[in-house]
Amino acid sequence: MVKVVLVTAGEERLPEGTGEAIRGFADFRAARCETPEDLLRTFPDAEVCWMFGPNLCLKPEALDRMPGVKALLRSGSGLDALPCEWAKAHGVGVYNTPESIAECVAEHAVALLVSYIRQIPQYNARAKAGYEWGKVEGMDWHISHRTLGLVGYGNIARRVEKMMSGFDMKTLHYDPFAPDSTDLDTLLAESDYVSIHCPLTPETKGLIDARRLKLMKRNAILVNTSRGPVVDEEALADALDAGEIGGAAIDVMCEEPPNVNSRLLQHPKCIVTPHVAAFSCDFEKNFFAASVEKLRQICEAMDDGEWGTYPPSEASRASGR
């Protein structure tokens, strides 16, 4: 049986029955490895390394000494925490489970956008502070019949599109891997609202920079639930200060947790939530069920001698988020 190891935590961290389910198709062990040395000492013979949360131990210096490793799985969406270049160079598969959080993140992106358009946080604060009842300020947006731009067109972005479809919006998407993709500069120039759903890669780091922010409509709203470094934060703060765009609503930042004096954290034209888009009361069930299923697919491909034909993770493409 394929040797599968969880390096993030002991088995007691998993929902009841998860370990038993994995043992139905793999030789499964689990322990928290906090350093590459811990990994080498605990799981030198691993074939599939599974993790979630921060990557503490799956580093090239350890993996170089583990010749049996054939796959790395990170539960969730982003792969930026894994040594993807090392894996590519060594023929090691890199996988994730974007489907496990797609619905929650899409809901959160929609909630951020609608909250900003309707100024929900602002009016809540004003009402509780004794602001003049019925006085209207800052209602500068409307949802229906506007244009929504999606940067990245994977699982989450497609769900956002579906959720927003009831508002009879025109939707544009930019994704190098999707058919009928709109040029990014054109999307930014024509969209009233832009929502970012691409993974963090060398190609997408700083994708939304000062030049591209200047292309957006002066009343446009930018939503980011992907990764903080996809957006140049200083450029975004400058654009908000200068009135080059209307507002921003973000769940991710370059530094997490951010400095309390962060310009975006303190900016009156920016709504911030603390990287919680993936969570809901269904999170644990969906997260681990998808992880077990992905592990089963990987192990079955390896057992059948079809490892070379197993399809790559969607997030290894630009549209993964």
CA distance 9 to 27: 17
Tokens 């579906």 sit on residue: 162
What is the reported pTM?
A: 0.85
CA distance 64 to 58: 10
The predicted structure's pLDDT at residue 228 = 97
Any residues with CB less than 8 A from the CB of 48 and at least 6 apart, and which?
2, 3, 4, 5, 26, 69, 70, 71, 72, 73, 295, 298, 299, 302
The predicted structure's pLDDT at residue 304 = 76
- With both helix axes pointing from N to C terminus, report the angle between 102-117 and 155-164 in degrees, rounded to the nearest 10: 50
Residues of the chain with pLDDT under 50: 309-321
The predicted structure's pLDDT at residue 316 = 37
Q: Which residues are catalytic?
A: 227, 256, 275
What is the CATH number assigned to the segment(s) 102-272? 3.40.50.720
The predicted structure's pLDDT at residue 80 = 86
Buried b (16+ CB within 10 A) or exposed e, 204-242: bebbbeeebbebbbeebbbbbbbbbbbbbbebbbebbee
Which residues belong to CATH 3.40.50.720 in the chain? 2-100+282-316, 102-272
Alpha helix locations (H) across 268-310?
A: 283-303
The predicted structure's pLDDT at residue 24 = 97
CATH match for 2-100+282-316 among 3.40.630.10, 2.40.10.220, 3.40.50.720, 3.40.47.10: 3.40.50.720
CA distance 188 to 222: 10
Structure token pair of residue 241? 């200060």
